[in-house]
Structure 1
Amino acid sequence: MAGMKALLRLSLLWVSIATQTAAHQQPLADSRLAINGVPFATRAYWMRVANQALSDLVSPCPFGAFGTAIVNHTSGEGLGELVCIGANSIGSTGEIAAINNCTAVLTSPTGPYNLTASQAQTAFKSLSLYTNAESCPMCASAIRWAGFKEYIYGTSIDTLIEKGWGQIRIASADVFAASYDLSAATRLMGEVLTNETDPYFAWQYDPEYACPVGCGRQKGSCAKMK
């Protein structure tokens, strides 16, 4: 009987590991395709805006170089409309900062939208969140709770780990797979424009890696050039 229980435990463990591995390896949409009617060139444009949010809000080379842009692709033809940006700061990640910024923009009585809190929540279902690195489980969950139409990231968690970053090894795809009870659906597109996002996370733990444009090495770190 003890042997049967041990075998059952091993079988359940194998099933758990296999399930987690399968979820982690689920393929993402090819980022070069036109998805939801938005071509890759437009996706690349807004990912660059997410990168630019670092310079606009903090520095071209902050240590935590996580930038975000939230976009309305339903506002008509063309690239779409930028609603707000966010960047990593003390006490707030890029994604959370952008969500908070957008809520303030959407509900401001003197702003262009002047929505109620409830209307702002509904508006997220029409918006796309671009972030230059894959979100941690906390931020991926916040994106799902907010109910965005799309979530597009650049550098993957796996790449961040390879570059020396401490990360919780839970992919956004796994968070999304576990959020099927939520009423709103969010389309996930990963590893978009990584040739431009990866360098923002490659210099922090590699003293020989070049600093981002506009920055130089000072005491082993990268700092904005004066």
Structure 2
Amino acid sequence: MARYFGRLPFGTVIVNHTLDNPQGTLICTGANQNSLAGNPTLHGEMAAINNCSSIFVSSAYNMTPAESLAAFKDLSLYTNAESCPMCAAAVRWAGFREYVYGVSIKELIELGWGQLDIGSEEVIGSGVGMRDKDPEVVLGGVGSEESKVLFGWQFAGGDCPSGCERGERSDGCLPVELE
């Protein structure tokens, strides 16, 4: 039986740029896992934030919950697609120093993805009494062209990734059978 590639290539990394490493130090990652876990809230950003929180209070960092919450203000969140309203709210509540995303919600919609058509910058900017949680930097479109490839093949008309071809289902790509 053929196996279809995963359809949810949403990924996030959380990086610390305050340490001596000029490229930043990777703290944790997250990938969309809602289909695997049966949890609709496990988008890449939510998974990464949960992973960081777990790491911070573990023996690796041994932070108190309050220290864990405060640590986000020194971190940058990078995600390959603009955060949905749920994730944008979580980014805002976490108080990240920087929020950087690739493909915009508008571009995802153009590629055929169902989305809530509310931009993350609108969500982040709508906080009341939360100025201490404002990111210093909000930057969109970073790596957008490269990331569009990951999001474009899932629907009819999009090119499949290298080594794959469109299967019987118009929305899926299959690995090319090697002889």
**Distance between the aligned counterparts of 1:103 and 1:118, measured in 2?**
11
How many angstroms does 1:179 deviate by?
1.4
In the TM superposition, what whole-angstrom CA distance separates every residue of 1:109-157 from its partner, at most 9, and x where no partner exists?
2x2x121111111000000000000011110001000111111000000
Aligned to 2:6: 62
Question: Could you tell me which of 71, 74, 83 is aligned with 1:123?
Answer: 71
Aligned to 1:201: 151
Unpaired runs of 5+ residues, structure 2, are none
**Distance between the aligned counterparts of 1:213 and 1:132, measured in 2?**
19
Aligned residues: 163
**Cα distance, 1:209–1:115 mapped onto 2, change above 3 Å:** same
In the TM superposition, what whole-angstrom CA distance separates every residue of 1:146-179 from its partner, at most 9, and x where no partner exists?
1111110000000001011111111111112211
In the TM superposition, what whole-angstrom CA distance separates every residue of 1:26-59 from its partner, at most 9, and x where no partner exists?
xxxxxxxxxxxxxxxxxxxxxxxxxxxxxxxxxx
Q: Does 1:210 align with 2:154?
A: no
Letter in 2 for 1:210: D
Aligned to 2:49: 99
Letter in 2 for 1:211: C
User: Larger % of helix: which?
Assistant: 1
Secondary structure of 2:45's partner?
A: helix
**Distance between the aligned counterparts of 2:56 and 2:173, measured in 1?**
35
Aligned to 2:101: 153
How many angstroms does 1:217 deviate by?
3.6
Unpaired runs of 5+ residues, structure 1, are 1-60
Aligned to 1:73: 17
Residues 105-144 of structure 1 mapped to structure 2, 5 A cutoff: 105-109=55-59, 111=60, 113-144=61-92
**Distance between the aligned counterparts of 2:81 and 2:45, measured in 1?**
10
The two structures have a TM-score, normalised by structure 2, of 0.84
**Cα distance, 1:222–1:166 mapped onto 2, change above 3 Å:** same
How many angstroms does 1:81 deviate by?
0.4
How many angstroms does 1:64 deviate by?
1.2
Identity of aligned residues (%): 47
In the TM superposition, what whole-angstrom CA distance separates every residue of 1:170-223 from its partner, at most 9, and x where no partner exists?
1111112211521222121101011111111111112x4222346544443135
**Distance between the aligned counterparts of 1:223 and 1:67, measured in 2?**
22
Letter in 2 for 1:197: S
The two structures have a TM-score, normalised by structure 1, of 0.67
- Larger gyration radius, structure 1 or structure 2: 1
**Distance between the aligned counterparts of 1:215 and 1:196, measured in 2?**
18
